[in-house]
Amino acid sequence: MVAERLAEIVGPAHVLSRQSELLVYNSDGLPGYRRQPRLAVFPGTRDETIAVVRFLAEQGLPFVPRGAGTGLSGGALADDIVVLGLHRLKKIISLDIENRRATVEPGVVNLRLNKHVAPHGLLYAPDPSSEAACTIGGNVAENAGGPHCLKYGVTLNHVLAITVILPSGEIVELGSRVGERDGYDLRGAFIGSEGCFGLALDITVKLTPKPQAVRTLLADFTSVDQAAHVTSAIIASGIVPAALEFMDGATIRVVEDSIYAAGYPRDAEAILLIELDGLEAGVVADLETVRRICLDGGARQVRVARDDAERMKLWQGRKKAFGAMGRLAPHLIVQDAVIPRTKLPEILATIHAISERHSVMVCNVFHAGDGNLHPNIAYSADDPAESERVHKAMVEIMRACIEAGGSITGEHGVGLDKMGYMESIFSETSLNAMCELRGVFDPERRSNPGKVVPIHACKEWHGIPGSAKARAAREAPPLEAEPSHPVAT
Protein backbone atom coordinates (compact mmCIF):
# COMPACT_ATOMS: atom_id res chain seq x y z
CA MET A 1 0.00 0.00 0.00
CA VAL A 2 2.83 2.39 0.92
CA ALA A 3 4.83 1.35 -2.15
CA GLU A 4 1.80 1.83 -4.39
CA ARG A 5 1.08 5.29 -3.08
CA LEU A 6 4.74 6.30 -3.44
CA ALA A 7 4.73 4.90 -6.98
CA GLU A 8 1.78 7.16 -7.78
CA ILE A 9 3.87 10.14 -6.68
CA VAL A 10 7.21 9.38 -8.33
CA GLY A 11 6.30 6.76 -10.94
CA PRO A 12 6.66 3.00 -10.48
CA ALA A 13 10.17 2.94 -11.95
CA HIS A 14 11.41 4.97 -9.02
CA VAL A 15 10.18 2.86 -6.14
CA LEU A 16 12.06 -0.27 -5.20
CA SER A 17 10.52 -2.80 -2.89
CA ARG A 18 12.00 -6.16 -3.93
CA GLN A 19 14.66 -7.30 -1.51
CA SER A 20 17.06 -8.15 -4.34
CA GLU A 21 16.79 -4.64 -5.79
CA LEU A 22 17.30 -3.10 -2.40
CA LEU A 23 20.61 -4.86 -1.79
CA VAL A 24 22.42 -1.96 -3.46
CA TYR A 25 21.14 0.34 -0.74
CA ASN A 26 22.10 -1.79 2.24
CA SER A 27 25.43 -0.07 2.85
CA ASP A 28 27.26 3.17 2.18
CA GLY A 29 30.95 3.77 1.47
CA LEU A 30 31.83 2.05 4.74
CA PRO A 31 30.64 -1.48 4.19
CA GLY A 32 31.28 -2.51 7.78
CA TYR A 33 27.61 -1.97 8.42
CA ARG A 34 24.70 -3.40 6.52
CA ARG A 35 21.02 -2.71 6.98
CA GLN A 36 18.36 -3.86 4.57
CA PRO A 37 15.81 -1.14 3.73
CA ARG A 38 12.09 -1.91 3.52
CA LEU A 39 11.76 0.09 0.35
CA ALA A 40 13.44 2.91 -1.53
CA VAL A 41 11.87 5.90 -3.24
CA PHE A 42 13.57 8.32 -5.61
CA PRO A 43 11.65 11.51 -6.33
CA GLY A 44 12.64 13.30 -9.53
CA THR A 45 11.45 16.80 -8.73
CA ARG A 46 11.12 19.16 -5.82
CA ASP A 47 7.34 18.76 -5.84
CA GLU A 48 7.60 14.98 -5.81
CA THR A 49 10.03 15.19 -2.89
CA ILE A 50 7.62 17.37 -0.94
CA ALA A 51 4.75 14.99 -1.70
CA VAL A 52 6.81 11.98 -0.60
CA VAL A 53 7.88 13.59 2.68
CA ARG A 54 4.32 14.69 3.42
CA PHE A 55 2.96 11.23 2.65
CA LEU A 56 5.52 9.63 4.97
CA ALA A 57 4.55 12.18 7.63
CA GLU A 58 0.86 11.35 7.27
CA GLN A 59 1.67 7.68 7.65
CA GLY A 60 4.09 8.29 10.52
CA LEU A 61 6.78 6.36 8.65
CA PRO A 62 10.48 6.80 9.46
CA PHE A 63 12.90 7.29 6.57
CA VAL A 64 16.56 7.83 5.77
CA PRO A 65 17.59 10.60 3.36
CA ARG A 66 20.37 9.45 1.04
CA GLY A 67 22.50 11.20 -1.57
CA ALA A 68 25.03 9.18 -3.55
CA GLY A 69 25.71 6.73 -0.72
CA THR A 70 29.41 7.59 -0.58
CA GLY A 71 29.33 8.39 3.15
CA LEU A 72 31.86 6.77 5.46
CA SER A 73 29.92 6.49 8.70
CA GLY A 74 27.10 4.04 8.07
CA GLY A 75 24.89 7.12 8.27
CA ALA A 76 22.70 6.52 5.23
CA LEU A 77 21.53 3.05 6.22
CA ALA A 78 17.84 2.27 6.61
CA ASP A 79 17.05 -0.62 8.92
CA ASP A 80 13.81 -2.01 7.53
CA ILE A 81 12.51 1.49 6.83
CA VAL A 82 12.26 3.76 3.78
CA VAL A 83 15.30 5.08 1.89
CA LEU A 84 14.51 8.49 0.44
CA GLY A 85 17.10 8.90 -2.31
CA LEU A 86 17.70 12.39 -3.66
CA HIS A 87 20.23 11.78 -6.41
CA ARG A 88 17.67 12.51 -9.14
CA LEU A 89 17.29 16.09 -7.92
CA LYS A 90 20.25 17.34 -9.91
CA LYS A 91 19.29 20.72 -11.25
CA ILE A 92 21.65 23.64 -10.90
CA ILE A 93 18.83 26.09 -10.26
CA SER A 94 20.73 29.33 -10.64
CA LEU A 95 24.24 30.60 -11.03
CA ASP A 96 25.09 34.18 -10.09
CA ILE A 97 28.60 34.74 -11.39
CA GLU A 98 28.78 38.39 -10.36
CA ASN A 99 27.92 37.65 -6.76
CA ARG A 100 29.73 34.31 -6.75
CA ARG A 101 26.97 32.04 -5.63
CA ALA A 102 24.90 29.16 -6.94
CA THR A 103 21.65 27.56 -5.91
CA VAL A 104 21.47 23.83 -6.52
CA GLU A 105 19.25 20.88 -5.83
CA PRO A 106 20.56 18.39 -3.28
CA GLY A 107 21.42 15.67 -5.80
CA VAL A 108 23.91 17.80 -7.75
CA VAL A 109 27.27 16.05 -7.74
CA ASN A 110 30.06 18.09 -6.16
CA LEU A 111 32.42 17.79 -9.14
CA ARG A 112 29.64 18.61 -11.60
CA LEU A 113 29.03 21.91 -9.83
CA ASN A 114 32.75 22.60 -10.04
CA LYS A 115 32.88 21.82 -13.76
CA HIS A 116 29.84 24.01 -14.29
CA VAL A 117 31.37 27.06 -12.63
CA ALA A 118 34.99 26.56 -13.75
CA PRO A 119 34.61 28.38 -17.10
CA HIS A 120 33.71 31.48 -15.09
CA GLY A 121 36.94 31.33 -13.08
CA LEU A 122 35.12 30.09 -9.99
CA LEU A 123 35.16 26.98 -7.85
CA TYR A 124 33.18 25.40 -5.03
CA ALA A 125 35.84 24.90 -2.37
CA PRO A 126 34.87 21.82 -0.30
CA ASP A 127 36.39 18.88 -2.17
CA PRO A 128 35.80 15.51 -0.49
CA SER A 129 37.81 12.72 -2.09
CA SER A 130 34.49 11.31 -3.31
CA GLU A 131 33.82 14.56 -5.21
CA ALA A 132 33.23 12.73 -8.49
CA ALA A 133 30.20 10.97 -6.98
CA CYS A 134 29.05 12.65 -3.77
CA THR A 135 26.22 15.16 -3.78
CA ILE A 136 25.95 18.67 -2.37
CA GLY A 137 22.96 17.57 -0.28
CA GLY A 138 25.06 14.81 1.23
CA ASN A 139 27.93 17.25 1.75
CA VAL A 140 25.58 19.53 3.71
CA ALA A 141 24.25 16.63 5.78
CA GLU A 142 27.78 15.57 6.73
CA ASN A 143 29.43 19.01 6.79
CA ALA A 144 31.90 17.46 4.38
CA GLY A 145 35.52 18.51 4.17
CA GLY A 146 38.32 17.54 1.81
CA PRO A 147 42.01 18.28 1.30
CA HIS A 148 41.54 21.94 0.42
CA CYS A 149 39.45 22.65 3.53
CA LEU A 150 42.72 23.36 5.33
CA LYS A 151 42.73 26.82 3.78
CA TYR A 152 39.20 27.26 2.52
CA GLY A 153 37.10 25.77 5.32
CA VAL A 154 34.50 23.02 5.31
CA THR A 155 30.95 22.94 3.91
CA LEU A 156 29.71 25.00 6.86
CA ASN A 157 31.81 27.94 5.72
CA HIS A 158 30.46 27.83 2.16
CA VAL A 159 26.72 27.47 2.52
CA LEU A 160 24.61 30.64 2.63
CA ALA A 161 21.10 29.28 2.70
CA ILE A 162 19.16 26.05 2.63
CA THR A 163 15.52 25.41 1.89
CA VAL A 164 14.66 22.53 4.18
CA ILE A 165 11.66 20.27 4.28
CA LEU A 166 11.22 19.14 7.85
CA PRO A 167 10.12 15.56 8.49
CA SER A 168 6.66 16.96 9.26
CA GLY A 169 6.43 18.26 5.69
CA GLU A 170 6.82 21.90 6.70
CA ILE A 171 9.18 23.92 4.50
CA VAL A 172 11.55 26.43 6.09
CA GLU A 173 14.23 28.78 4.76
CA LEU A 174 17.43 28.65 6.81
CA GLY A 175 20.17 31.25 6.45
CA SER A 176 20.04 33.99 3.86
CA ARG A 177 20.77 33.89 0.16
CA VAL A 178 22.10 37.41 0.23
CA GLY A 179 24.44 36.96 3.17
CA GLU A 180 23.68 37.59 6.80
CA ARG A 181 20.52 37.20 8.77
CA ASP A 182 19.37 37.97 12.28
CA GLY A 183 18.20 35.34 14.74
CA TYR A 184 19.49 31.88 15.53
CA ASP A 185 21.92 30.28 13.08
CA LEU A 186 19.56 27.48 12.08
CA ARG A 187 21.51 26.98 8.88
CA GLY A 188 24.61 26.30 10.99
CA ALA A 189 22.64 23.87 13.14
CA PHE A 190 21.29 22.03 10.09
CA ILE A 191 24.67 21.59 8.39
CA GLY A 192 26.21 18.37 9.64
CA SER A 193 22.93 17.12 11.13
CA GLU A 194 23.42 13.87 9.21
CA GLY A 195 19.89 13.68 7.85
CA CYS A 196 18.36 13.79 11.33
CA PHE A 197 16.79 17.23 10.95
CA GLY A 198 15.04 16.79 7.61
CA LEU A 199 16.32 17.23 4.09
CA ALA A 200 17.46 20.05 1.84
CA LEU A 201 15.33 20.93 -1.18
CA ASP A 202 17.83 23.48 -2.42
CA ILE A 203 21.14 24.85 -1.24
CA THR A 204 22.72 28.23 -1.98
CA VAL A 205 26.50 28.04 -1.85
CA LYS A 206 29.28 30.58 -2.03
CA LEU A 207 31.70 30.21 -4.92
CA THR A 208 35.37 31.09 -4.64
CA PRO A 209 37.49 32.75 -7.31
CA LYS A 210 40.09 30.42 -8.73
CA PRO A 211 43.47 31.33 -7.29
CA GLN A 212 45.82 33.20 -9.58
CA ALA A 213 48.61 30.68 -9.00
CA VAL A 214 48.83 27.11 -7.73
CA ARG A 215 51.96 25.10 -6.90
CA THR A 216 51.94 21.49 -5.82
CA LEU A 217 54.94 20.00 -4.06
CA LEU A 218 55.80 16.44 -3.26
CA ALA A 219 58.27 16.00 -0.40
CA ASP A 220 59.47 12.50 0.41
CA PHE A 221 60.93 11.19 3.64
CA THR A 222 62.65 8.07 4.90
CA SER A 223 60.71 8.16 8.15
CA VAL A 224 57.13 8.84 9.17
CA ASP A 225 58.39 10.83 12.11
CA GLN A 226 60.26 13.30 9.90
CA ALA A 227 57.17 13.96 7.79
CA ALA A 228 55.06 14.45 10.91
CA HIS A 229 57.51 16.98 12.33
CA VAL A 230 57.72 18.83 9.02
CA THR A 231 53.90 19.06 8.99
CA SER A 232 53.96 20.70 12.41
CA ALA A 233 56.76 23.04 11.30
CA ILE A 234 54.85 24.20 8.21
CA ILE A 235 51.72 24.93 10.28
CA ALA A 236 53.79 26.74 12.90
CA SER A 237 55.45 28.88 10.19
CA GLY A 238 52.16 30.62 9.61
CA ILE A 239 51.85 29.68 5.97
CA VAL A 240 48.40 28.29 5.31
CA PRO A 241 48.79 25.80 2.49
CA ALA A 242 45.72 25.13 0.36
CA ALA A 243 46.29 21.47 1.24
CA LEU A 244 48.82 19.47 3.25
CA GLU A 245 48.34 15.73 2.82
CA PHE A 246 50.25 12.83 4.28
CA MET A 247 50.70 9.31 2.91
CA ASP A 248 52.79 6.64 4.57
CA GLY A 249 55.00 4.07 2.86
CA ALA A 250 52.37 1.32 2.88
CA THR A 251 49.87 3.60 1.17
CA ILE A 252 52.43 4.84 -1.36
CA ARG A 253 53.25 1.33 -2.48
CA VAL A 254 49.60 0.30 -2.75
CA VAL A 255 48.84 3.35 -4.87
CA GLU A 256 51.91 2.80 -7.06
CA ASP A 257 50.85 -0.80 -7.69
CA SER A 258 47.38 0.33 -8.76
CA ILE A 259 45.98 2.00 -11.86
CA TYR A 260 46.18 5.28 -9.94
CA ALA A 261 50.01 5.19 -9.86
CA ALA A 262 51.10 8.79 -9.44
CA GLY A 263 54.86 8.45 -9.61
CA TYR A 264 55.37 8.58 -5.85
CA PRO A 265 58.80 7.29 -4.72
CA ARG A 266 58.19 3.65 -3.78
CA ASP A 267 61.05 3.52 -1.31
CA ALA A 268 59.84 6.48 0.75
CA GLU A 269 58.38 5.86 4.19
CA ALA A 270 56.23 8.97 3.96
CA ILE A 271 55.35 11.71 1.53
CA LEU A 272 53.74 15.07 1.98
CA LEU A 273 51.64 16.46 -0.81
CA ILE A 274 51.57 20.20 -0.30
CA GLU A 275 49.64 22.71 -2.33
CA LEU A 276 50.09 26.46 -2.14
CA ASP A 277 47.82 28.89 -3.90
CA GLY A 278 47.07 32.60 -4.08
CA LEU A 279 48.75 35.51 -5.79
CA GLU A 280 51.65 34.43 -7.99
CA ALA A 281 54.28 36.51 -6.17
CA GLY A 282 53.16 35.33 -2.74
CA VAL A 283 53.00 31.69 -3.75
CA VAL A 284 56.50 31.74 -5.19
CA ALA A 285 57.84 33.15 -1.92
CA ASP A 286 55.92 30.64 0.23
CA LEU A 287 57.10 27.82 -2.00
CA GLU A 288 60.70 28.59 -1.13
CA THR A 289 59.89 28.72 2.59
CA VAL A 290 58.07 25.39 2.48
CA ARG A 291 60.82 23.76 0.43
CA ARG A 292 63.37 24.89 3.00
CA ILE A 293 61.29 23.57 5.93
CA CYS A 294 60.97 20.20 4.18
CA LEU A 295 64.68 19.91 3.39
CA ASP A 296 65.68 21.08 6.87
CA GLY A 297 63.30 18.48 8.28
CA GLY A 298 65.02 15.66 6.42
CA ALA A 299 63.17 15.44 3.10
CA ARG A 300 65.22 13.52 0.53
CA GLN A 301 63.71 15.47 -2.29
CA VAL A 302 61.12 18.15 -2.91
CA ARG A 303 59.55 17.96 -6.31
CA VAL A 304 57.33 20.71 -7.69
CA ALA A 305 54.77 19.71 -10.30
CA ARG A 306 55.74 21.34 -13.59
CA ASP A 307 52.28 21.60 -15.08
CA ASP A 308 48.62 20.89 -14.49
CA ALA A 309 48.91 17.36 -15.84
CA GLU A 310 51.58 16.45 -13.32
CA ARG A 311 49.64 18.19 -10.58
CA MET A 312 46.49 16.23 -11.39
CA LYS A 313 48.45 12.99 -11.40
CA LEU A 314 49.89 13.68 -7.96
CA TRP A 315 46.39 14.43 -6.67
CA GLN A 316 44.83 11.42 -8.36
CA GLY A 317 47.02 9.08 -6.31
CA ARG A 318 45.93 10.77 -3.11
CA LYS A 319 42.24 10.99 -3.88
CA LYS A 320 41.99 7.39 -5.08
CA ALA A 321 44.10 5.91 -2.31
CA PHE A 322 41.13 4.28 -0.57
CA GLY A 323 40.08 2.71 -3.83
CA ALA A 324 43.60 1.38 -4.37
CA MET A 325 43.40 -0.39 -0.99
CA GLY A 326 41.07 -2.84 -2.68
CA ARG A 327 44.23 -4.49 -4.05
CA LEU A 328 45.33 -5.54 -0.58
CA ALA A 329 42.28 -7.31 0.72
CA PRO A 330 38.56 -7.46 0.01
CA HIS A 331 37.47 -5.25 2.91
CA LEU A 332 38.45 -1.87 4.27
CA ILE A 333 37.80 -0.02 7.47
CA VAL A 334 38.70 3.65 7.85
CA GLN A 335 38.64 6.11 10.71
CA ASP A 336 38.38 9.89 10.79
CA ALA A 337 39.71 11.09 14.15
CA VAL A 338 41.19 14.57 14.51
CA ILE A 339 44.07 15.32 16.85
CA PRO A 340 45.83 18.53 17.87
CA ARG A 341 48.43 19.06 15.16
CA THR A 342 51.36 19.14 17.55
CA LYS A 343 50.51 15.58 18.61
CA LEU A 344 50.97 14.16 15.12
CA PRO A 345 54.42 12.55 15.58
CA GLU A 346 53.37 10.99 18.87
CA ILE A 347 50.06 9.60 17.58
CA LEU A 348 51.59 8.15 14.42
CA ALA A 349 54.10 6.31 16.61
CA THR A 350 51.26 5.05 18.79
CA ILE A 351 49.29 3.87 15.76
CA HIS A 352 52.35 2.01 14.56
CA ALA A 353 52.77 0.29 17.94
CA ILE A 354 49.08 -0.69 18.00
CA SER A 355 49.26 -2.16 14.51
CA GLU A 356 52.34 -4.22 15.46
CA ARG A 357 50.68 -5.47 18.61
CA HIS A 358 47.62 -6.71 16.74
CA SER A 359 49.49 -7.85 13.62
CA VAL A 360 47.44 -5.72 11.26
CA MET A 361 48.62 -3.38 8.52
CA VAL A 362 47.45 0.17 9.09
CA CYS A 363 47.80 2.50 6.13
CA ASN A 364 47.86 6.21 6.91
CA VAL A 365 46.65 8.64 4.29
CA PHE A 366 45.20 11.82 5.69
CA HIS A 367 44.76 15.57 5.96
CA ALA A 368 47.88 16.27 8.01
CA GLY A 369 47.46 20.05 7.89
CA ASP A 370 44.42 19.95 10.12
CA GLY A 371 45.33 16.84 12.08
CA ASN A 372 42.52 14.82 10.51
CA LEU A 373 43.72 11.20 10.47
CA HIS A 374 42.36 8.46 8.24
CA PRO A 375 44.04 5.29 9.51
CA ASN A 376 42.66 2.42 7.48
CA ILE A 377 43.08 -1.31 7.45
CA ALA A 378 42.49 -3.58 4.51
CA TYR A 379 41.58 -7.11 5.61
CA SER A 380 39.29 -10.01 5.06
CA ALA A 381 36.05 -9.96 7.00
CA ASP A 382 35.61 -13.64 6.18
CA ASP A 383 38.41 -14.40 8.60
CA PRO A 384 36.87 -14.00 12.08
CA ALA A 385 40.22 -13.98 13.86
CA GLU A 386 41.55 -11.22 11.60
CA SER A 387 38.32 -9.24 11.94
CA GLU A 388 38.66 -9.40 15.68
CA ARG A 389 42.26 -8.12 15.58
CA VAL A 390 41.34 -5.31 13.19
CA HIS A 391 38.45 -4.26 15.36
CA LYS A 392 40.57 -4.21 18.51
CA ALA A 393 43.29 -2.18 16.80
CA MET A 394 40.76 0.38 15.53
CA VAL A 395 39.21 0.80 18.98
CA GLU A 396 42.66 1.34 20.52
CA ILE A 397 43.57 3.89 17.85
CA MET A 398 40.37 5.80 18.50
CA ARG A 399 40.98 5.76 22.26
CA ALA A 400 44.51 7.12 21.74
CA CYS A 401 43.17 9.97 19.61
CA ILE A 402 40.52 10.84 22.20
CA GLU A 403 43.13 10.79 24.96
CA ALA A 404 45.29 13.16 22.89
CA GLY A 405 42.48 15.70 23.12
CA GLY A 406 41.03 14.95 19.72
CA SER A 407 37.65 14.40 18.16
CA ILE A 408 36.19 11.12 16.91
CA THR A 409 35.31 12.51 13.49
CA GLY A 410 36.55 15.43 11.42
CA GLU A 411 34.50 15.11 8.26
CA HIS A 412 32.90 11.67 7.83
CA GLY A 413 30.24 12.07 10.50
CA VAL A 414 29.11 9.92 13.39
CA GLY A 415 26.37 7.89 11.70
CA LEU A 416 26.24 4.40 13.14
CA ASP A 417 29.97 3.86 13.09
CA LYS A 418 31.09 6.31 15.76
CA MET A 419 27.96 6.49 17.88
CA GLY A 420 29.53 4.19 20.45
CA TYR A 421 32.23 6.80 21.05
CA MET A 422 29.95 9.80 21.55
CA GLU A 423 29.76 9.22 25.27
CA SER A 424 33.56 9.20 25.45
CA ILE A 425 33.73 12.82 24.32
CA PHE A 426 30.41 14.32 25.41
CA SER A 427 28.70 14.37 28.80
CA GLU A 428 25.15 13.22 29.35
CA THR A 429 23.87 16.82 29.45
CA SER A 430 25.71 17.70 26.24
CA LEU A 431 24.25 14.71 24.41
CA ASN A 432 20.83 15.54 25.78
CA ALA A 433 21.18 19.09 24.43
CA MET A 434 21.80 17.57 20.99
CA CYS A 435 18.71 15.37 21.39
CA GLU A 436 16.66 18.41 22.30
CA LEU A 437 17.80 20.27 19.20
CA ARG A 438 16.90 17.31 17.08
CA GLY A 439 13.56 17.12 18.84
CA VAL A 440 12.69 20.61 17.60
CA PHE A 441 13.45 19.80 13.95
CA ASP A 442 12.02 16.29 14.11
CA PRO A 443 9.84 15.74 17.20
CA GLU A 444 8.91 12.20 16.13
CA ARG A 445 12.52 11.25 15.36
CA ARG A 446 11.46 9.87 12.00
CA SER A 447 14.30 11.26 9.88
CA ASN A 448 17.33 8.97 9.99
CA PRO A 449 16.40 7.40 13.32
CA GLY A 450 18.95 5.74 15.54
CA LYS A 451 21.98 7.71 14.30
CA VAL A 452 24.50 10.19 15.73
CA VAL A 453 23.38 10.36 19.37
CA PRO A 454 22.72 7.13 21.30
CA ILE A 455 19.04 7.13 22.12
CA HIS A 456 19.50 6.29 25.77
CA ALA A 457 21.32 9.63 26.06
CA CYS A 458 18.09 11.45 25.23
CA LYS A 459 16.21 12.18 28.42
CA GLU A 460 13.04 13.11 26.64
CA TRP A 461 13.03 10.02 24.50
CA HIS A 462 10.05 7.78 25.10
CA GLY A 463 10.12 5.80 21.89
CA ILE A 464 7.44 5.81 19.23
CA PRO A 465 4.60 3.36 19.30
CA GLY A 466 4.18 0.90 16.44
CA SER A 467 6.44 -1.97 15.56
CA ALA A 468 8.15 -0.56 12.46
CA LYS A 469 8.91 2.68 14.21
CA ALA A 470 10.04 0.97 17.36
CA ARG A 471 12.41 -1.12 15.28
CA ALA A 472 13.67 1.97 13.54
CA ALA A 473 14.29 3.59 16.86
CA ARG A 474 16.26 0.62 18.05
CA GLU A 475 19.52 1.73 19.41
CA ALA A 476 22.57 0.59 17.51
CA PRO A 477 24.82 -1.40 19.80
CA PRO A 478 28.00 0.33 20.89
CA LEU A 479 30.87 -0.28 18.52
CA GLU A 480 32.69 -2.51 20.96
CA ALA A 481 29.77 -4.90 20.90
CA GLU A 482 29.49 -4.99 17.14
CA PRO A 483 32.72 -5.71 15.36
CA SER A 484 32.60 -4.41 11.83
CA HIS A 485 31.95 -6.96 9.19
CA PRO A 486 32.96 -5.06 6.15
CA VAL A 487 32.01 -6.44 2.80
CA ALA A 488 33.55 -5.57 -0.55
CA THR A 489 34.58 -1.98 -1.18
Residues 452-471 that bind another protein (CB under 8 A): 452-453
Taking CB under 8 A as the criterion, the residue among 140, 414, 458, 476 binding another protein is 414
Contact status: 376 vs another protein (CB under 8 A): no
Nearer to another protein, 259 or 440 (CB): 440
Instruction: Name the minimum Å distance from CB 255 to another protein.
Output: 24
**Which residues touch 419 (CB under 8 Å, ≥6 apart)?**
451, 452, 453, 454, 476, 478, 479
Contact status: 372 vs another protein (CB under 8 A): yes
Taking CB under 8 A as the criterion, the residue among 11, 12, 60, 179 binding another protein is 179
CA dihedral 356, 360, 366, 368 (to 10 degrees): -10
**Which residues touch 336 (CB under 8 Å, ≥6 apart)?**
72, 73, 372, 373, 374, 408, 409, 410, 411, 412, 418
Contact status: 143 vs another protein (CB under 8 A): yes
Nearer to another protein, 14 or 66 (CB): 66
Tallying the residues shown for the chain, one arrives at 489
**Number of C-alpha atoms within 13 angstroms, CB side, residue 382?**
3
Contact status: 312 vs another protein (CB under 8 A): no
Taking CB under 8 A as the criterion, the residue among 78, 125, 149, 302 binding another protein is 149
Taking CB under 8 A as the criterion, the residue among 48, 127, 142, 245 binding another protein is 142
What CA–CA distance (Å, rounded) separates 76 from 66? 6
Task: Restricting to residues 268-287, name those near another protein by CB under 8 A.
Answer: 278-282, 284-286
CB distance 415 to 73 below 8 Å: yes
Contact status: 169 vs another protein (CB under 8 A): no
Contact status: 478 vs another protein (CB under 8 A): no
Instruction: Name the minimum Å distance from CB 15 to another protein.
Output: 31
Contact status: 426 vs another protein (CB under 8 A): yes
Nearer to another protein, 396 or 423 (CB): 423
Task: Restricting to residues 338-357, name those near another protein by CB under 8 A.
Answer: 338-342
Contact status: 307 vs another protein (CB under 8 A): no
Instruction: Name the minimum Å distance from CB 135 to another protein.
Output: 17
What CA–CA distance (Å, rounded) separates 427 from 417? 19
Question: Exposed (0-12), middle (13-18) or buried (19+): which is 306, by Cβ within 10 Å?
Answer: exposed
Nearer to another protein, 167 or 249 (CB): 167
Contact status: 298 vs another protein (CB under 8 A): no
What are the residues facing 331 on neighbouring strands? Answer: 379
Task: Name the nearest CA neighbour of 101 among 212, 211, 178, 202.
Answer: 178
Instruction: Name the minimum Å distance from CB 40 to another protein.
Output: 26
Nearer to another protein, 34 or 100 (CB): 100
Nearer to another protein, 112 or 418 (CB): 418
**Which residues touch 165 (CB under 8 Å, ≥6 apart)?**
49, 50, 53, 171, 198, 199, 201
Cβ neighbours of 258 (radius 10 Å): 18
- From residue 97 to residue 116, the character string flagging contacts with another protein as x (rule: CB under 8 A) and all else as - is -xxx----------------
What distance lies between CA 51 and its chain's CA centroid?
A: 29
Contact status: 429 vs another protein (CB under 8 A): yes
Instruction: Name the minimum Å distance from CB 168 to another protein.
Output: 10
Q: In which region does residue 483 sit, left (phi positive, over 0), alpha (psi from -120 to 50) or beta (all else)?
A: beta
Instruction: Name the minimum Å distance from CB 261 to another protein.
Output: 29
Task: Restricting to residues 27-86, name those near another protein by CB under 8 A.
Answer: none
Task: Restricting to residues 240-269, name those near another protein by CB under 8 A.
Answer: 240
Contact status: 188 vs another protein (CB under 8 A): yes
CB distance 249 to 366 below 8 Å: no
Task: Name the nearest CA neighbour of 49 among 158, 140, 137.
Answer: 137
Taking CB under 8 A as the criterion, the residue among 422, 458, 472, 473 binding another protein is 422
Q: Which stretch binds another protein (CB under 8 A): 3-11, 294-302, 388-396, 433-441?
A: 433-441
Nearer to another protein, 92 or 261 (CB): 92
What CA–CA distance (Å, rounded) separates 192 from 142? 4
Nearer to another protein, 229 or 300 (CB): 229
One-letter amino acid for residue 191 of the chain: I
What CA–CA distance (Å, rounded) separates 82 from 59? 12
CB distance 9 to 55 below 8 Å: yes
* Count of residues touching another protein (by CB under 8 A): 88
What CA–CA distance (Å, rounded) separates 31 from 489? 7
